[in-house]
Amino acid sequence: MRIRLICFVSFFALTLFLAITFAVEAKAENSLAKEEEIDRVVAAIDGEPLTMRDLLSFISENGGKVNSSDSSLDKFKELHSYLGQMISRKLLELEALNRGVSVSDNEVKAYVDEVIRKNGVSAEEFEAMLGQEGMSLKMYRQQVKGEILKTRIVQSLVHSSVSISDEDIERYVNENKELLPQEGQIHLYQILLEVPNGATEAQLSLFKDRLEELRDKLVDVDMWPTVQGVSFSDVGYVKENELIEELRLAVKDLPTNKVSDVVFTNNGMYLLMVLARGGDDWKLNKKFTESIREELYRAKSQERMKKFITEELTGKYHVEMLLTESGMHS
């Protein structure tokens, strides 16, 4: 009986040992396969390899994530999209190096500090906000550095190759007539100085004198947005007959680009300027033409940048995309 027991225990021990051995070997093989997978070259730029490890790091640094439950095809499409983004950034970095364009850590810090200030939060709160988006402060700084670098390259390209002529503006307006103001509309600038309830005659006189003094400085239309201590508004195009009576009477016969007299209302005291009237020659409205110029400039700049990345850069550097669906592991 003892001999049988010893044999049974020995057989069980041998079986357990073999099972553990096979499991360890399988795990080792699986680990080796994963190492081979993660070190697999997925692209190359001028012969320099980019591995799956590089790609996964890029995805993580940019707050991205590949869903492991996706099908092989979906996972491939997702990785392929990220790979395209990574290659674009690498090409921009190479181009920046060749052009002598750089971004210092102090510049990145200053940019991030300004973003934090504008959000009205502390550095700790901002970092917590990033964490909710799946991103660390280090990742965010890397993103910022890439964007500043990209902007500087774009600026060097755009300034030398993108311009908007008066003919471009006229052509755009003729093709988009709905942008033009209608008869009865005016483009209005206004400055409001609020008057406290129960203000005395003496106080009202002081408020008026302040606006009268300011009025002499507002002959130049570009000065209006820079005025301090009062409320400035670019009202845009409004229907003249929808203004309150005091304002409507003040602008009725007011020549364009001239400053109104001080206007008293229940809301406070106003200064007004009509930049343009519907039906007038739109070319005389500097604000309108400049807004169109800026819009066209942005569109052309984006188009120029897209062409630069998708055609010129990829033509300048030899890029090989080696990520294939057949090489994907599910």
Give the count of domains, the chain: 3
330 & 257 share domain = no
The span from the CA of 6 to the CA of 13, in Å, is 10
The CB density around residue 117, as the number of other CB atoms within 10 Å, is: 10
Secondary structure of the chain in the HEC alphabet? CHHHHHHHHHHHHHHHHHHHHHHHHHHHHHHHHHHHHHCCEEEEECCEEEEHHHHHHHHHHCCCCCCCCCCHHHHHHHHHHHHHHHHHHHHHHHHHHHHCCCCCHHHHHHHHHHHHHHHCCCHHHHHHHHHHCCCCHHHHHHHHHHHHHHHHHHHHHHHHHCCCCHHHHHHHHHHCHHHCCCCCEEEEEEEEECCCCCCCHHHHHHHHHHHHHHHCCCCCHHHHHHCCCCEEEEEEEEEHHHCCHHHHHHHCCCCCCCECCCEEECCEEEEEEEEEECCCCHHHCHHHHHHHHHHHHHHHHHHHHHHHHHHHHHHHCCEEECCCHHHCCC
Q: Domain span at residue 295? A: 41-178+282-330
pLDDT of 10: 47
Contact (Cβ atoms closer than 8 angstroms) between residue 91 and residue 313: yes
The span from the CA of 227 to the CA of 259, in Å, is 14
The span from the CA of 97 to the CA of 218, in Å, is 47
- CATH number of the structural domain spanning residue 162: 1.10.4030.10
273 & 295 share domain = no
Residue linked to tokens 């996972």? 75
171 & 139 share domain = yes
- CATH number of the structural domain spanning residue 196: 3.10.50.40
Q: How confident is the model at residue 329 (pLDDT cuts 50, 70, 90)?
A: low
The span from the CA of 313 to the CA of 84, in Å, is 13
108 & 9 share domain = no
20 & 78 share domain = no
244 & 288 share domain = no
Is the pLDDT at 9 greater than 50, yes or no? no
- The tokens for 190 are 């206004």
The span from the CA of 186 to the CA of 248, in Å, is 11
Residue 23 burial (C-beta neighbours within 10 Å; 0-12, 13-18, 19+): exposed
Q: pLDDT for 205-256, tens place per residue?
A: 999 999 999 988 888 888 888 888 888 999 988 999 999 999 999 999 999 8
54 & 167 share domain = yes
Domain boundary among 278, 296, 314: 278
Residues 42-48 have a mean pLDDT of: 90
The span from the CA of 27 to the CA of 32, in Å, is 8
60 & 109 share domain = yes
166 & 298 share domain = yes
139 & 190 share domain = no
Alpha-carbon dihedral sign for residues 30, 33, 39, 44: negative
87 & 174 share domain = yes
Q: pLDDT for 111-161, tens place per residue?
A: 999 998 888 888 999 899 888 887 888 888 888 888 888 888 877 776 777
pTM over 0.75: no
How far is Cα of residue 91 from the mean position of the Cα atoms in its chain? 20
Angle at 183 between CA 181 and CA 189, to 5 degrees: 55
- The tokens for 143 are 């993103």
**Buried-state track 247-265, b at ≥16 Cβ within 10 A, e below 16:** beebbeebeebebbebbee
The share of the chain scoring above pLDDT 70, in percent, equals 84
pLDDT of 69: 56
Mean pLDDT of the chain: 81
The span from the CA of 126 to the CA of 123, in Å, is 5
pLDDT of 321: 87
pLDDT of 109: 93
The span from the CA of 83 to the CA of 327, in Å, is 15
Q: How many CA atoms lie within 13 A of 72 on its CB side?
A: 8
92 & 158 share domain = yes
